[in-house]
Structure 1
Amino acid sequence: MGVQQEELRVIKPLIEQRADPFICRHSDGYYYFVASVPEYNRIEIRRAQDLVGLITSAPVVIWRKRETGILSANIWAPELHFIDGKWYVYFAAAHTSETTEGLFDHRMYVLENENANPLEGSWTERGQVRTAWESFSLDATTFEHNGSLYYVWAQKDPEIEGNSNLYISKMSNPWTLIGAQTMITMPEYDWEIIGYKVNEGAAFVRKDNRVFLTYSASATDFNYCMGLLEADADSDLLDAASWRKSKVPVLTTDESISMYGPGHNSFTVSETGEKTLFVFHARTYKHIVGDPLYDPNRHTFVAELLWTDDGRPDFRGSVAALARSVQYE
C-alpha cells in the first residue's frame, strides 16, 4: 500500500465577514489589518503583534462615509500603505444622489496620516486619484520597485467592452499619477468573464528576479477566481509587453474544502520576515440569496505562500497546505 495522504479539512477563516482583506507588517512589530466591512460605510483598522491577535483586536474607525454626494456610498477595498514616513489609505467610494444612479459609479480616493500609529492622529482626505478617464474605477494598490512608486488599479475604459481592466502608472506623490498609464490586462479568457467581464483587485509580490501581480476575475459569487501576471524584475513595468499572463486561473472554488469564490488577495510576511503570507477572501458556501455584494460572508483567510520549483507562487498548494494544518489555534 502507498503512503496515505493527510486528509484535507475545511479551511477556517482568520477573520469572519471581512472582504478584500489587506494585512501589512510594519517596522514597529505590529500587523495592521483593513478590509471592506459588510455595511460598506466606514474604514477601520485593527492591529496586533501576531496574526491570531487580529481576531480579537478591537477595530478603530478612522473614517466614515459622507451622508450625500461624493464619498457617500459603497466604501470598498481599503488598503493601508506606509510611504515616505506617512500612512496612506487607498479606497474606492461611490456617491448618492436623488436618483441614486451613482451607487456603483466608483472613484478612487486617498487618506493621509502623519502619526506613527495609524490608529491615532488625524486622517486628511487627499482627494481623488485622477486617471486618464473619469469613469468607474476601484481596487487601487501601490508598491515600490527599483526606486519608483507604482500604482495599479482597475478601471472601465469607455472604449472597451466590459467592466474593468488593470492599469499601471508611476506616482509623483502618493495621490498623484505621472507619465504613462498602461493597460496590462483585460478580461479575455472564459474564466475572466463569467457574470461580468472583470479584472480587479491587484496585489504585488516579488521573488528573486521576477515580479508578480495577482488579480481577481468574474462575478463575486462562486465564479470569482484569481489570475496572475509576471514580469522580469529589471523590465519596464510600464510596457505592457513586459507582462506575461497566465492562460488559466491560479486559484478557483474548491468544494472539497468549502472554499467558494477566492480572490481579492494581498501579501504580507511572517513575524520573522522569512516567509511570505497569502491573504485572501472567500465564502464557505456556494449558494447565495440575492446580490452577492450584499452577502456579508466573505471571510479573510491567511496561508503561507508556497512556491513552485520554477519560482512561481503556488496558490493551490498554499491553500491545500492550509487545509491540512491546525489553523489559528
Structure 2
Amino acid sequence: MAVYNNPIVLQRADPWVLKVDGEYYFTASDPEYNVIAIRHASAINDLQKAPETIVWRKHESGPQSKYIWAPELHRVNGAWYIYYAAAEREFEPNGMPTHRMYVIENTDADPTTDNWVEKGQVVTQFDTFSLDATTEVIDGVQYLVWAQKDPDIPGNSNLYIARMENPWTLGGEPVMLTKPEYDWECIDFLVNEGPAFLFHDDKIYITYSASGTGVPYAVGLLTADRGADLLDPNSWSKSPVPVFKTCAENGQYGPGHNSFTKSEDGTEDLMVYHCRNYTEIKGDPLFDPNRHARVGVVRWTEDGPDFGVPAPDDVWTPTSTEVLPADGGPLAGTPVSRD
C-alpha cells in the first residue's frame, strides 16, 4: 500500500489526475489563470517535482482571454480532450462571472505535444456562466456533467447532465441533477460545481463541491444505479449532508473540487482535491494561490464511499501569497515531521 505525501502538488487548485497506462497525468488551475499545463509521473508522490508542459495559453482578447479555470484532461476514443472554463471580462452586468466552457483536442499519443486544436465552446441551453465540465463514457454513451447558472434559479450554479454527440457538442437536452438547497450548500454563495464521476460495483457516484471557496467549501454526493437512466433526475439520490469538509484538527480548510484516480497498484480508489491550510486570506481569495493539491484513499462501506477527512500536511508548504518559482522552489515537496 502506497504512502502519500500531502500536498502532492503545491499551489494548484481544482486538481485533475488521469491515470493512463500506469502514468499519472496532472492538470489544474494555474495561480495566474492564464495557461493550461500538464505534468506527469509514474508515481503520485513524484508529481510535485515533475516538469510542467504548457499546452495552451489564453487569448490576447475576447471570450478566452481571462481567468482560465479548472482544466480537466480526458481520453475519449483514442484522443485527448481538455475541458476548461474561460472568460472575456470579470463580471456580467448582473454580477455573474462571464465564463463559458471550451474544449481542445490532441490526437497524438502524448498529450504534452503542441498539437492541441481548439474545438470551440460547449454550447448549452443557456448563454450564462458555466464551468467545470467533466465527461464519462458509460455503457457506450458519452455524458457531460457541468455547472451552470439558470437565470430563473437563485444562486451561482447548478449541476446538469446531457448526452454528447461528440466530445465538444451536446447531443440532447440537458437535465438538472442538483441545485443548492441544503444550508451547507448555501454559505457565502449558492453553488453546486466541480462534478467528478466515481464507480464502484453496481453504483455510479458524482461528487460535487458547494458553498463559497473558503472554509465552508465542502463536497456533496449523488448516487445512481448502474444501468439506470442517468438523464432522469429521479435515478439519482442526493446526500443531505456533506461527505468531505473542513477538518480544523488537521489544519485543512475548504476541501473540494476533486477528481478520482487509482493507486499505483490499481487496488484503491484515490480522491485528489484541493485545500488550504490557513483561514486568514489577504486580499481577494481568488488570487490567493495556496490551495494545494492533495490526495486521500477512498474507503468502501456497505453504504458507499467513505472519504474520511482531509489529511494533515506532511511536506513543506508556502506561507506567503507569492507564486512559487518555476522549479517549485528548493523546499517544495520536502517531507517534514508531524511532531
Query: What one-letter code is carried by the residue in structure 2 that aligns with 1:313?
Result: P
1:52 aligns with 2:42: no
Could you tell me how far apart the structure 1 residues matched to 2:184 and 2:96 are? 27
1:17 aligns with 2:11: yes
Deviation at 1:96, TM superposition (A): 3.5
Deviation at 1:103, TM superposition (A): 8.9
**Aligned partner (choices 271, 279, 282) of residue 272 of structure 2:** 279
Could you tell me how far apart the structure 1 residues matched to 2:160 and 2:263 are? 29
**Aligned partner (choices 137, 144, 155) of residue 151 of structure 1:** 144
Query: What one-letter code is carried by the residue in structure 1 that aligns with 2:88?
Result: H
1:234 aligns with 2:234: no
Could you tell me how far apart the structure 1 residues matched to 2:180 and 2:89 are? 29
User: What SS does structure 2 have at the residue aligned with 1:180?
Assistant: coil
Give the match for residue 61 of structure 2.
Answer: 68
Is the alpha carbon distance of 1:90 and 1:15 closer, same or farther for their aligned partners in structure 2, counting shifts above 3 Å? Answer: same
Could you tell me how far apart the structure 2 residues matched to 1:251 and 1:328 are? 26
1:316 aligns with 2:308: yes
The 8 Å contact of residues 7 and 314 in structure 2, kept in 1 or not, is answered as: no
Query: What one-letter code is carried by the residue in structure 2 that aligns with 1:316?
Result: G
**Residue pairs, 1:109-258, within 5 angstroms:** 109-258=102-251
Return the TM-score normalized by structure 2.
0.88
The 8 Å contact of residues 41 and 75 in structure 1, kept in 2 or not, is answered as: yes
Could you tell me how far apart the structure 1 residues matched to 2:30 and 2:239 are? 31
Query: Cα deviation per residue 1:29-65 (whole Å; 9 max; x = unaligned)?
Result: 2110000011000000001111112110110000110
Deviation at 1:323, TM superposition (A): 4.8
User: What SS does structure 2 have at the residue aligned with 1:236?
Assistant: coil
User: What SS does structure 2 have at the residue aligned with 1:96?
Assistant: coil
Is the alpha carbon distance of 1:253 and 1:240 closer, same or farther for their aligned partners in structure 2, counting shifts above 3 Å? Answer: same
Deviation at 1:172, TM superposition (A): 1.1
User: What SS does structure 1 have at the residue aligned with 2:279?
Assistant: coil
**Aligned partner (choices 16, 20, 26) of residue 20 of structure 2:** 26
Give the match for residue 318 of structure 2.
Answer: none
Q: Percent identity?
A: 52
Could you tell me how far apart the structure 2 residues matched to 1:171 and 1:181 are? 10
The 8 Å contact of residues 73 and 103 in structure 1, kept in 2 or not, is answered as: no
Following TM superposition, the consecutive aligned residue runs of length 4 or more in structure 1 with deviations greater than 3 angstroms are 99-103, 322-329
The 8 Å contact of residues 6 and 295 in structure 2, kept in 1 or not, is answered as: no
Could you tell me how far apart the structure 2 residues matched to 1:307 and 1:295 are? 34
Could you tell me how far apart the structure 1 residues matched to 2:8 and 2:78 are? 29
The 8 Å contact of residues 7 and 313 in structure 2, kept in 1 or not, is answered as: no
User: What SS does structure 2 have at the residue aligned with 1:241?
Assistant: helix
The 8 Å contact of residues 296 and 307 in structure 2, kept in 1 or not, is answered as: no
Give the match for residue 75 of structure 2.
Answer: 82
The 8 Å contact of residues 72 and 95 in structure 1, kept in 2 or not, is answered as: yes
Return the TM-score normalized by structure 1.
0.91
User: What SS does structure 2 have at the residue aligned with 1:71?
Assistant: coil
Give the match for residue 261 of structure 2.
Answer: 268
User: What SS does structure 1 have at the residue aligned with 2:260?
Assistant: strand
Could you tell me how far apart the structure 2 residues matched to 1:288 and 1:32 are? 30
Structure 1, unmatched stretches of 5+, are: 1-10
Could you tell me how far apart the structure 2 residues matched to 1:83 and 1:234 are? 21
**Aligned partner (choices 36, 41, 54) of residue 43 of structure 1:** 36
Is the alpha carbon distance of 1:160 and 1:46 closer, same or farther for their aligned partners in structure 2, counting shifts above 3 Å? Answer: same
